[in-house]
Amino acid sequence: MDIIKIIGIGLISLIIIIIIRQYKPEFTLYVSLLAGALILLFLMDKMGGIIDLLTTLSNKTVINNEFLVLLIKITGIAFLTEFAVSICKDAGESAIANKIDMGGKVIIVSMSIPIISSLLETVIEILP
């Protein structure tokens, strides 16, 4: 099971961080970054499969492909933002983490405007 691999990477990294913290606490951030990057690389393969499935389904329906691309980009931005926020919080930089989080939210809202606009146009057409 894939979740076992992800949990394994996380727990091994945690043990290494606990051990390193006693001798060289400045290196714990590097171990955390490496573990996060490994988990992200592992998940990229899974995300590729999900994107392929969504693309196949959208080609079979009347869903606008532009909206699907936007939703995939928005999801990617949300994942990357959360990853960056976690790294900043691990490093003790909550202020920077909050700014990254706010920036990610603003970008997501700005990217979702075409979808919101299309939805509102559809609602207006339905209303008498």
**Segment-wise mean pLDDT, segments of 10 residues, the chain, 128 residues:** 87 91 89 88 84 81 80 90 88 90 95 89 85
Residue 57 is predicted with a pLDDT of 80
List of residues 6+ apart from 127 with CB closer than 8 A: none
CA dihedral 104, 75, 10, 93 (to 10 degrees): 0
Identify the three-state secondary structure at position 92: coil
Q: What is the pLDDT of residue 1?
A: 75
Q: Give the pLDDT confidence score for residue 110 in this predicted structure.
A: 94
pLDDT computed for residue 16 by the predictor? 92
What are the residue boundaries of the structural domains of the chain, listed by start?
64-128
How buried is residue 85: exposed, middle or buried, by Cβ count under 10 Å (0-12/13-18/19+)?
Answer: buried
The pTM assigned to this predicted structure is: 0.74
